[in-house]
Structure 1
C-alpha cells in the first residue's frame, strides 16, 4: 500500500531552497513572537545545524585546496598571467571596499552573551596576529582537523596538492572524487538550512529581542551595497586600465547576460556555459576565454571576498575586538586567498569565514554561528554574490581580449550590443 504525501509536504519538497529558507525565517519570527519558551526549545534545530557545519567545514577546506592544485593544468598559453593578476586585484579591491564600509558602517550581530566566559583574548596587534598565523601554518595536520585550524589546513592542502601534481591521473581523479564527495555531504547539510535557520532565528529573537532583525537588515544592506560598488566602480576601473577605453558597455552587457542568470542559479560553475556563449557572442579571444571562464568560476570571487570580510568584521566588532589598519590590510589579503577557495555550492564562501575569524583568535564555535547568520541573509546575499562573481569573469576576459586585439592590430574586437 502506497502512502500518499500530504499536499503541504509535497509542496515543500517541490519548491527550491530559497523559498524554504524564507519560510524558515518567517516561521522563526512568528514562533519567537508567539512563545518565547517554544522558541528557545526549537533552538535545538539551529544548534544541530551549526554543529553539522562545524564538523564538515575543516575537511572540506583541506580537500578543496588539495584537489584544485593537484588537478591544475600546466602548459597552456592563454594570457592567464594577466588574467590572474586582474582576478586578485579585483578580490583585494573588493575586500578593501568591504573593510572600509565595515569601518564606516560597523555591523553588530548577537553571538555570545559573555565574551570572557569563552576565554577569548583579542590579539594585541598585527605582530601577534602574524605570530599566530605562523604557528597555525606549521600545525600537525591531524590536530589542524580536530581543532579546525583552517590556516594549517590550507597550508597542508597546498603542500599535498603540489606533491600530487606529479602523481598519476588516477590519483588526481581520486582526489577530485573525494572533493566532490565532501561537497555532496555539504549539500545535504545545506538542505537542512531552512530547519536550522528556523531554530536559530526563533531562539536568537527570543533571547536578544526583535532588535536583532534590524542588525540582519543592516548587515545585508552593507553586503549588497559593497557588491554593487565592486560591479559598477571597481571592475570598470580595472578593465579600463587594461583596455584603455570606456568599459561600461562591456560591464552592462556582463550584468545583463551573465549576472542575471547567475543570480538565479546561485552557482558560478553552473553559469560556465552561459559565460562561454556570451564570450563567443562578444567575439572575445577564444584561446583566452576557453581556459579563463572555467578558471574564473573557480578562483575569481570578488563577491565572496566582500562576504567573508564583512561577516568576519561583524564578528570581530560584536566580540569587542579592536582592529588596527595593519590587521585590516592583512585581513584583505587573507580574505582574497580564502575567496579563491570558496566551494562551488550555494553559500560556499560562508564556509571559509572561520579561516578569517581565526586571525583574530575567534574560536570555531563562534565562527560557525557567523556562518549560520550568513545563511539567514544568504537568500539575497548569495544570489548577488554569485552574480558579481560570474559577471566579473566576463568583464576581465573582455578587457584582456580587447587589449590583445589592439596590441596585435587585429580587426576582431570585443563588440557589445547596447
Structure 2
C-alpha cells in the first residue's frame, strides 16, 4: 500500500532533504532538475500548498551550470508569469528592454523591422543574463517554506512502483535511497536521464552549427534593438542587455568551431564584426566565451504513467527566435495550472492521474508543434545558401516588413502568445 502524502513537509532542516527514515513520505510532485524550468515549476507548484520535492545535482550555495553568461530573451508572456510568481522582483542586475527586432540575411535583399510601439507596447520582452536569473530563482526558492530540496542528489532510475505512486532511485553522499511521488516531472535537460529511464524516444537533428555565446561592448550603447543577422552558417544575434553591453550569439559551421574557439579577443571580435556588420558600431570588447552545439531534439511523447516531460527534456530547439526557455516555461505553467484546477474541484485530486496528464499533452500540442516547426523551418531555410532560395528569402523578409498578418504572426510568437497560453502569462502586472 502506498503511503499517503503528508499535509506538511518532512521534518529536518527547512528546505533540505528529509532524513533517511522519512523517505517513504510521498511527494505530490517530484521535479528532477533545478534549472530554469524546474525551479520555476517548483515555485509555481509550492504556492498551491502541495508537497513538492526538487531533486538538484548541485549542492546548496551553488547554481546549476546553465546559469552562466548566456543571455535569455524573456517574452512578454514570460515576464507576466515570472512577475506573478515573484521572481522578476528578485532580479538585482538591470535587464534590457527589446523595443524592436531587426532581421536581415547576409547576401539577401531586404530586411524586416518589428516595432513594439506599432502594437501598443513599449517592448516585446526583456533580456536577462542567465546567471542573474539563477540568483533570482534561488532567492525566491528560499522563500518556499513547504518545498523539499533534495540537493547534491543524482537521479538513478525508477524502482518497482504501484499504480498510485512512482518510486525513484536517487543517490547522494550517503549512498542510494528511494523517493516516492504521485507525479515525477523530468526537467533535467536535453540529455534527460528521466526521459531515458521512461523509455521515451527522441527525434534528433544536428544543424551542424556551434553557437558561441558572450557579451560584447560596442561603440554605440544598446537602444532597445535586438538584431538577428542570418547567414549560411546560422544566425548571429545581438541582444540589448541592461548593463550597456550586448548579448552575442554567433553561429559557426561545426568544422570551423575549433579555429573560432582558438581566436584571441581581437580575432573573435573581428570575425563577429565581419559577419554582423556595423549596426551597433565597432565591437570593442567581449567577455568570456562559451560554446554549445545547435541541435533539435524532440521527445516522441511528453507523458508516461505518473510522469511528464517539460522544458528541454521535452524539446530542445534551435535558438533562432529565442523561444526555447519561453516555450519550456509555458510547459511548466500549463502543468501547474491543470493541477491547480483539479485541486480546486477536489482537494484530494491526484496530481499524476492519466486524465490530468492527457489534458496536459493536449493543451501543449499546438504551442509545442507550432513553435518547434517555426524554429526548425526558419533555421533550415535561412541557413540554406542555395541561390534559387534567395528570392524566396528576400520575399519573406519583405512580407514580414510590409504585410500586417505576417508581422502579427511573428510578433505573437515573439511575445509568447501562441496556442493555449497559461493564465499567468496573460496577467498584466504594473
Q: Same fold (TM over 0.5)?
A: no
Scaled by the length of structure 1, what TM-score is found?
A: 0.29
Normalized per residue, the structure richer in helix is 1
Normalized per residue, the structure richer in strand is 2
Scaled by the length of structure 2, what TM-score is found?
A: 0.29
